[in-house]
Amino acid sequence: MSNIRTENPPDFLTARLKDGNTADLHYVVFKGTKRHIYKTSNNKDSDGGVVLYYDEYGIFKRAYHIPTIGWQSLAVRLFFLGDLSNAFVPVYPANGRDTVPVKIWKINYPSDIEKNQKYLETEPPEGY
């Protein structure tokens, strides 16, 4: 895995599991500071996904397997996959880098949402 194939990349990676079976894993690839290829699925029967990192020259650096429960989580969808809805607007980084250690989003709540005072408290309840 020394180079990134940018034309007609596969839809999944094939992994050999501990039990000897194989599984097709969806993935995201970062090259340098950019999300270079994005392939994924919210298939609940999957075995998760893989995050691959290459340096700016296309040399493979590291890979992480993320189990299904993580792959389908909001944090992974936002941070690694860039899977944004209208509710989440990227604020930082402003320069478009995909591989920064911290990302910040503005949340656009629906206009008809009702406030619940319980979640607005800044101090624990008395006697807690």
**d(Cα 125, Cα 26) in Å, to the nearest integer?**
45
Which two tokens mark 124?
């624990």
Helix residue spans in the chain (DSSP H): 68-71, 74-79
93 cis-preceded (ω within 30 degrees of 0): yes
For 63-122, write each residue's pLDDT tens digit: 999 998 998 898 888 888 888 788 888 888 877 677 788 888 888 988 898 888 888 888
pTM over 0.85: no
